[in-house]
A and B are shown apart, each in its own frame.
Chain A
Amino acid sequence: MNSPEPNPNADWIRRVVECHEQPLIRYATRMLNDHERARDVVQDTFLQLCRQSQQELEGRVTAWLYTVCRNRAFDIRKKESRMSHVSDPQAAAIESREPNQGDQAEQRETANSARQLLTQLPDQQQEVIRLKITHGLSYREIGEITGLSISNVGYLLHVGLKSIREQFAS
Chain B
Amino acid sequence: MSTDPHDIRITQYVFDELNDADKIAFETEMEQDPQLRQMVEETQATVGSLQAELQGDPVVGLTEQQRQAIEAGINNPGSVTPGGEQVTTPSTGKALAVMALAASLLLAVSVGIYRYSQTGAIQVARFDSRADSSQAITGDHSTNQSRTDQVASEPLDSRTISEESLEESGLELNFDGKEAAAGLSSPHPVPTTISTKPAARRNKFQSAIPLPPTVRGRDLGVDRGRGPGEGGDRFDRIYENGFLAVTDNPLSTFSIDVDTASYSKVRMFLQQNRLPRPDAVRIEELVNYFTYRYEAPTDDHPFASRVEITQCPWTPNHRLARIGIKGREIDQAKRPSSNLVFLLDVSGSMESRNKLPLLRRGMKMLVDQLGENDRVAIVVYAGAAGLVLDSTTADQKGVILGALDRLQAGGSTNGGAGIQLAYQVALDHFIKGGVNRVILCTDGDFNVGTTGTGSLVRMAEDNAKSGTFLTVLGFGMGNHNDSMMEQISNKGNGNYAFIDTDNEARKVLVEQISSTLVTIAKDVKIQVEFNPKEVAAYRLIGYENRILAAEDFNDDTKDAGEIGAGHTVTALYEIIPMGVSSKALGKIDKLKYQKPTKPSGAANNGELLTVKIRYKQPDGDTSKLLEFPIKDTGKRFGQADQDFRFAAAVAQFGMLLRGSEHKGDSNYAAVLEIATEAAAGDKSGYRQEFLELVKLASQLSDR
Which A residues are within 8 Å of any B CB, using their own CB? Answer: 1, 3-4, 6-7, 9-10, 13-14, 16-17, 19-23, 25-26, 29, 35, 39-40, 42-48, 50-51, 58-64, 67-72, 74-75, 78-79, 81-83, 85-90, 92-95, 97, 113-115, 118, 124, 129-130, 132-140, 143-152, 154-159, 161-162, 164-165, 168-169
Contacts and interface: CB of A to CB of B under 8 A. Distances in A.
A128 to B, nearest CB: 10
Contacts of A89: 181-185, 544-545, 547
Contact of A7 (B74, B178, B412): B74
B449 A67 contact: no
Interface stretch (B8-16, B358-366, B516-524): B8-16
B487 A93 contact: yes
A42 B15 contact: no
Contact of B128 (A75, A124, A164): A75
Of the listed residues A19, A29, A134, the one surrounded by the most CB atoms of chain B closer than 10 A to its CB is A134
Given A47-B86, A74-B188, A78-B186, A39 B73 contact: no
A83 B61 CA distance: 29
Q: When A and B form their complex, which 4 residue pairs have the shortest distance between CB atoms, in order from nearest?
A: A147-B189, A71-B133, A151-B447, A136-B211
Contact of A168 (B49, B55, B70, B544): B49
Nearest to A2: B99
A133 B185 CA distance: 28
Contact of B69 (A19, A43, A68, A81): A43
Nearest to A46: B70
Contacts of B452: 95, 152, 155-156, 159
B contacts with A: majority SS: loop
A99 to B, nearest CB: 14
11 contacts: A1-B99, A44-B133, A58-B220, A86-B182, A87-B179, A93-B483, A95-B453, A133-B54, A139-B12, A149-B448, A154-B17
Interface size class of B (residues with CB under 8 A): 35 or more
Contacts of B76: 4, 7
A20 B212 CA distance: 11
Interface of B: 5-8, 10-12, 15, 17, 42-43, 45-47, 49-51, 53-55, 57, 59-63, 66, 69-70, 73-78, 80, 84-86, 95, 98-99, 125-126, 128, 131-134, 136-137, 146, 148, 160, 163, 176, 178-179, 181-192, 194, 197, 211-220, 222, 234, 236, 412-414, 416, 445-454, 457, 481, 483, 487, 490, 544-545, 547, 549
A165 to B, nearest CB: 4
A75 B132 contact: yes
A16 B215 contact: yes
A74 B186 contact: yes
Of the listed residues A51, A70, A81, the one surrounded by the most CB atoms of chain B closer than 10 A to its CB is A51
A161 B46 contact: yes
A50 B80 contact: yes
A151 B452 CA distance: 9
B561 to A, nearest CB: 12
Contact of B215 (A19, A47, A50, A79): A19
Contacts of A7: 74-77
B445 A149 contact: yes
B178 A162 contact: no
Given A151-B8, A155-B451, A165-B42, 8 more contacts: A6-B75, A10-B75, A16-B215, A45-B84, A51-B77, A58-B217, A74-B186, A79-B146
A115 B490 CA distance: 36
